[in-house]
């Protein structure tokens, strides 16, 4: 297995120290790391998982917008940050693999290395009270 980009390595290390859920995706859209807090939401710790296509992971969360309408996985912040290399912020509702519905705010941003090299993307999210 080839070494990951240095930006992905550093992003993973940073995520492992944060108390908020963080996902890290590579440039091809594989979800290559998520921290312990994100694992709690997914209902599946990272240690027990394999690198999986991002869409497969995110679709399991049944994401919906604030009106309750389903959000296509390719429009979720992390997927947009990977595909379009731009930052995204939004509110949405998900159902964790523990069966619990959660309202969250998510921010995703691309990891762009020197020379414009696309190294992947990172997403952080916060659980919020239902309004």
Residues in touch with another protein (CB under 8 A) = 1-6, 9-10, 12-14, 16-17, 113-117, 119
Q: Between 1 and 69, name the residue whose CB sits nearer to another protein.
A: 1
In the chain the first and final C-alpha atoms are separated, in Å, by 46
Least distance CB 33 / another protein (angstroms): 8
Q: Look at phi and psi of residue 84 and say left if phi exceeds 0, alpha if psi is from -120 to 50, else beta.
A: alpha
CA pair distance 78, 121, nearest whole angstrom: 7
Structure tokens at 64: 């919906």
Least distance CB 113 / another protein (angstroms): 7
Least distance CB 64 / another protein (angstroms): 34
Q: Between 99 and 116, name the residue whose CB sits nearer to another protein.
A: 116
Q: Which residue has the tokens 């069966």?
A: 99
């Amino acid at each position: 297995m080839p070494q990951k980009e240095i930006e992905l390595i550093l992003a993973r290390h940073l995520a492992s120290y944060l108390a908020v859920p963080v996902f890290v995706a590579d440039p091809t859209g594989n979800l290559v790391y998520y921290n312990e807090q994100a694992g709690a939401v997914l209902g599946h710790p990272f240690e027990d998982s394999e690198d999986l296509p991002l869409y497969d992971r995110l679709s399991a969360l049944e994401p919906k917008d604030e009106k309750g309408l389903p959000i296509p996985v390719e429009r979720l912040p992390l997927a947009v940050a990977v595909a379009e290399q731009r930052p995204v912020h939004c509110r949405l509702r998900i159902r964790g693999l523990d069966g619990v519905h959660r309202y969250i705010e998510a921010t995703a941003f691309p990891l762009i290395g020197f020379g414009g090299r696309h190294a992947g993307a990172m997403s952080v999210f916060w659980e919020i009270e239902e309004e």
